[in-house]
C-alpha cells in the first residue's frame, strides 16, 4: 500500500529546475509535492517524516535505456572474463571455474582478444582442454560472437551447418544464435530468476530506477522476458520496460505486453566481431564487410506495421551500410504512413554508431530516438583502440557522434547495453561529455538529461515532469554522496550544467577524469525505496 504521510528530505542539494537553490523536498505517496529551502519546508511539512540528507545530492533516478538483464546477472553470478588481460588468463579462469563448479553449464562473458598480447581468441581444442569436458558458452565482450566447447555444440548440432560456423574459432551469425539458445535452454527457472534479481539489485545500487530490456528470439526467450517484467512488479527493484526484437510479431507483442517490437532487432552485428555491416571493408580484414540481416523493404514493412498498431518499432544498427538500409526503410515507410505518423510513433534505433549528419537530420524529422552507449567510445574509441584498428583512424574516430545527433534534433537516450559495458551511469555521462574525438561530445546538461529524462522519452513517456524533480513529478529519484559540484569557472561567473550560466539550473558533480564519481546512497522508485546503501556520514 502506498504511504500517504508526507516525507520531508532536507539538508541536502536538490537537483530541481523548480528551485535551483533547493535544499529540501517533500514527497507524498508516489509524487513529489514540493521543493525549496529547508526553513520553508519545515514550516509547511512540520508533521512529516523527517529525513536528514546531511549534505547529500538528490537527482532524478537514472534510466538505463538498453540492458540484457539475465545475461548481465549471469555474468555477475558466473564467469566474468572482462578482467582477463591475455588468452592465457582467460583459459586459466575457465579452468578454475569449471573445477570449482562441476556438473553444469558454464556461462561466461566478456573476453576481448583485441586487448590481449596474443591478439586472438582461444581455439576450441584449447577451450575443451581448459574446460575438462564441461559444456561452456563464452560470449565475446560485444555478445555478437562466442566460444563454445565441443560438449555444448553437441547439444546444438545444427550449429555446424549454420552461417557463422567455425570449426575452431569464434561462432558468429546463426551459428552463434544456435549455440546461445542451447546454453539458455540449459538454465533452470531458478537460475534465471537469481540472475535477474542480481542484475536489478545492481542497477538499483547505481541509482537506476528503470531499465529497458531489449529481448528477442536470438537473445533470450519470451519466457525470460515475461518473468523479468513480472519480477519488476512484485519486487522492490527497478521498473522493467520490455521490448521484443522480432519482425512483425504483433501477436507476440500483445501477449507479452511490450512497448514495442524493437530493441535488438538486428539489422547488422558488431564492429568487434566484424559483423557490423560496412559500406567499405574492414581495414584489418579487407575481405570482410560485415553482415546485413534485414533489408530496407523488410524494415519498411515492420515500421509501417508497428506505426499502425501503436507500437514502437526499432532496430539494432551499427555499421554505416546498416544505417543506410534503415534510413531507406524509413523513407519507404514515410511514403505509406506519412511523416507525422512516423514522428508520433517515437520509433527508436539502438547504438547508431556510424551515422552521418545528413542521416541524423532525416532521422530527427521522423522523430526517431537514438538509444546509445557512451561507454563504447570510452572503451574502444580514439585513434589507437579497437574501432581505429578495425576501421582505420579516419572512420574509427568518428563513431558515436553525440553532438551531431543532438544538433540535428535527435532525442538521445543513454544506457549500458550490459553486459557489454558496466552499469555505471555517472561514468556514462562523463564518457558522453569527454568523447575521445574532439567535437563529438556533448554538454554535461545534455548527457545527464539523456540518461534520465531521455530514457523516459525513449519509451514514450513525455509528460513534462517524469525524469525531473519538481512538484507533480513521480517520486523517482536517487540520493548521492557527490562531493563538490561543478560551479566555479575561471572568470568567477557561476558555471552550471546549463549551457547558459545565467539559467539558474543546479550544478552537477564534477566529471573530470581524476575526480571520484558520486556514490549512490538511496534509490527510490515511485515513492518506494529500492536501494538503501546507508548514510554518507
Share of the chain above pLDDT 90, in %: 89
> What is the pLDDT confidence band of residue 491, given thresholds at 50, 70 and 90?
very low
End-to-end CA distance of the chain: 31
Tell me the CA distances in angstroms from 205 to 272, 289, 514, 519, 522, one per residue in order. 30, 40, 22, 9, 7
> What is the tens place of the pLDDT at every residue in 295-327?
999 999 999 999 999 999 999 999 999 999 999
Confidence of residue 5 (pLDDT cuts 50, 70, 90): confident
d(CA 142, CA 110): 8
Q: Which residues contact 251 (CB under 8 A, 6 or more apart)?
A: none
Rounded to whole angstroms, the Cα distance separating 24 from 40 reads 9
pLDDT-derived band at 20 (thresholds 50, 70, 90) equals confident
Rounded CA-CA distance 500/34 in Å is: 25
According to DSSP, the residues that pair with 136 across neighbouring strands are 106
Predicted pLDDT at 493: 31
Which fold is adopted by the domain 67-185?
A: Diaminopimelate Epimerase; Chain A, domain 1 (3.10.310)
pLDDT above 90 for 64:
yes
Cα–Cα distance measured from residue 188 to residue 418, given in angstroms and rounded to the nearest whole number: 21
Q: What is the pLDDT of residue 488?
A: 36
**Joined grid coordinates for residue 27:** 514527497
pLDDT at site 483: 74
- What pLDDT score was predicted for residue 21? 86
Nearest by Cα to 315 from 335, 296, 331, 332 = 296
Better pLDDT: 484 or 65: 65
User: Do the beta carbons of residue 76 and residue 195 sit within 8 Å?
Assistant: yes
Mean per-residue pLDDT for 122-144?
A: 94
C-beta separation of 27 from 527 below 8 A: yes
**Helix runs in 398-522, H state only:** 402-408, 425-433, 444-451, 453-458
Q: Is the pLDDT of residue 504 over 60?
A: no
Q: For residues 378 and 306, what is the distance between their CA atoms, to the nearest angstrom?
A: 34
**Mean pLDDT to the nearest integer, 84-111:** 94
pLDDT at 384 over 50: yes
Number of residues written out for the chain: 537
Tell whether the torsion through CA atoms of 87, 93, 99 and 102 is positive or negative: negative
Give the pLDDT confidence score for residue 173 in this predicted structure: 92
> Taking residues 460-476, what's their average pLDDT?
96
Q: Bigger pLDDT: 4 or 43?
A: 43
Q: Would the CATH topology of 67-185 be identical to that of 251-458?
A: no
Of 46, 47, 53, 62, the closest CA to residue 22 belongs to: 53
pLDDT value for 537: 39
pLDDT at 27 over 70: yes
Q: Which of 394, 422, 391, 402 is nearest to 353 (CA)?
A: 402
Q: Can you tell me the mean pLDDT for 102-110?
A: 91
Give the start-end residues of each E strand in 202-336.
Answer: 208-215, 239-244, 260-261, 312-317
Q: Does the structure show a pLDDT above 70 at 370?
A: yes
- CATH superfamily of domain region 251-458: Metal-dependent hydrolases (3.20.20.140)
Find the range with the poorest average confidence among 268-282, 465-479, 489-503, 521-535.
489-503
**For the chain, what are the domain ranges?**
7-60+467-532, 67-185, 251-458
446/129 Cα distance (integer angstroms): 50
Beta bridge partners of 372: 414
pLDDT of residue 505: 59
CATH class of 7-60+467-532: mainly beta
pLDDT band (50, 70, 90) for residue 536: very low
Distance, CA of 532 to CA of 222 (rounded, Å): 32
What pTM did the predictor assign?
0.93
* Predicted confidence (pLDDT) at residue 487 exceeds the cutoff of 90: no
Amino acid at each position: 500500500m502506498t504511504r500517504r504521510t508526507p516525507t520531508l528530505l532536507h539538508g541536502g542539494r536538490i537537483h530541481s529546475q523548480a528551485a535551483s537553490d533547493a535544499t529540501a523536498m517533500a514527497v507524498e505517496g508516489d509524487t513529489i509535492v514540493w521543493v525549496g529551502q529547508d526553513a520553508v519546508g519545515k514550516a509547511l511539512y512540520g508533521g512529516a517524516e523527517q529525513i536528514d540528507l546531511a549534505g547529500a545530492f538528490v537527482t532524478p533516478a537514472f534510466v538505463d535505456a538498453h540492458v540484457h538483464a539475465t545475461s548481465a546477472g549471469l555474468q555477475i553470478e558466473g564467469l566474468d572474463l572482462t578482467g582477463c588481460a591475455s588468452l592465457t588468463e582467460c583459459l586459466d579462469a575457465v579452468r578454475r571455474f569449471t573445477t570449482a563448479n562441476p556438473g553444469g553449464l558454464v556461462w561466461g562473458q566478456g573476453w576481448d582478444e583485441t586487448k590481449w598480447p596474443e591478439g586472438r581468441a582461444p581455439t576450441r581444442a584449447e577451450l575443451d582442454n581448459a574446460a575438462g569436458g564441461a559444456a561452456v558458452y563464452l560470449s565475446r565482450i560485444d555478445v555478437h560472437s562466442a566460444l563454445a566447447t565441443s560438449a555444448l555444440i553437441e547439444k546444438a548440432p545444427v550449429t555446424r551447418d549454420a552461417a557463422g560456423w567455425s570449426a575452431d574459432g569464434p561462432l558468429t551469425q546463426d551459428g552463434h544464435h544456435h549455440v546461445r539458445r542451447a546454453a539458455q535452454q540449459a538454465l533452470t527457472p531458478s537460475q534465471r530468476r537469481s540472475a535477474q534479481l542480481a542484475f536489478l539489485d545492481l542497477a538499483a545500487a547505481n541509482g537506476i530506477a528503470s531499465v529497458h530490456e531489449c529481448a528477442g528470439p536470438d537473445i533470450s526467450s519470451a519466457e525470460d522476458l515475461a518473468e523479468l517484467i513480472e519480477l519488476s512488479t512484485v519486487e522492490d527493484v527497478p521498473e522493467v520496460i520490455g521490448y521484443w526484437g522480432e519482425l512483425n510479431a504483433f501477436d507476440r507483442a500483445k501477449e507479452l505486453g511490450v512497448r514495442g517490437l524493437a530493441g535488438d532487432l538486428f539489422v547488422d552485428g558488431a564492429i568487434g566481431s566484424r559483423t557490423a555491416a560496412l559500406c567499405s571493408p574492414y581495414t584489418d580484414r579487407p575481405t570482410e564487410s560485415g553482415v546485413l540481416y534485414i533489408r530496407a523493404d523488410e524494415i519498411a514493412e515492420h515500421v509501417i506495421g508497428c506505426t499502425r498498431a501503436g507500437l514502437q518499432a526499432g532496430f539494432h544498427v551499427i555499421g554505416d551500410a546498416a544505417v543506410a538500409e534503415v534510413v531507406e526503410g524509413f523513407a519507404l515507410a514515410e511514403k505509406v504512413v506519412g511523416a507525422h505518423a512516423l514522428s508520433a510513433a517515437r520509433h527508436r534505433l539502438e547504438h547508431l554508431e556510424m551515422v552521418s549528419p545528413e542521416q541524423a537530420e532525416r532521422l530527427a524529422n521522423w522523430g526517431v530516438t537514438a538509444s546509445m552507449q557512451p561507454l563504447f567510445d570510452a572503451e574502444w574509441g580514439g585513434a589507437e583502440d579497437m574501432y581505429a584498428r578495425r576501421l582505420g583512424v579516419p572512420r574509427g574516430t568518428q563513431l558515436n557522434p553525440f553532438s551531431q545527433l543532438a544538433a540535428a534534433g535527435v532525442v538521445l537516450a543513454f544506457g549500458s547495453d550490459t553486459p557489454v559495458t558496466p552499469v555505471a551511469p555517472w561514468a556514462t555521462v562523463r564518457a558522453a561529455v569527454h568523447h575521445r574525438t574532439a567535437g563529438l561530445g556533448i554538454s554535461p546538461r545534455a548527457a545527464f538529461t539523456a540518461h534520465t529524462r531521455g530514457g523516459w522519452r525513449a519509451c514514450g513517456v513525455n509528460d513534462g515532469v517524469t525524469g525531473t524533480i519538481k512538484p507533480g513529478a513521480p517520486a523517482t529519484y536517487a540520493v548521492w554522496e557527490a562531493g563538490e559540484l561543478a560551479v566555479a569557472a575561471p572568470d568567477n561567473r557561476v558555471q552550471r550544467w546549463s549551457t547558459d550560466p545565467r539559467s539558474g539550473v543546479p550544478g552537477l558533480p564534477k566529471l573530470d577524469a581524476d575526480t571520484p564519481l558520486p556514490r549512490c546512497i538511496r534509490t527510490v522508485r515511485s515513492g518506494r525505496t529500492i536501494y538503501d546503501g546507508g548514510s554518507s556520514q
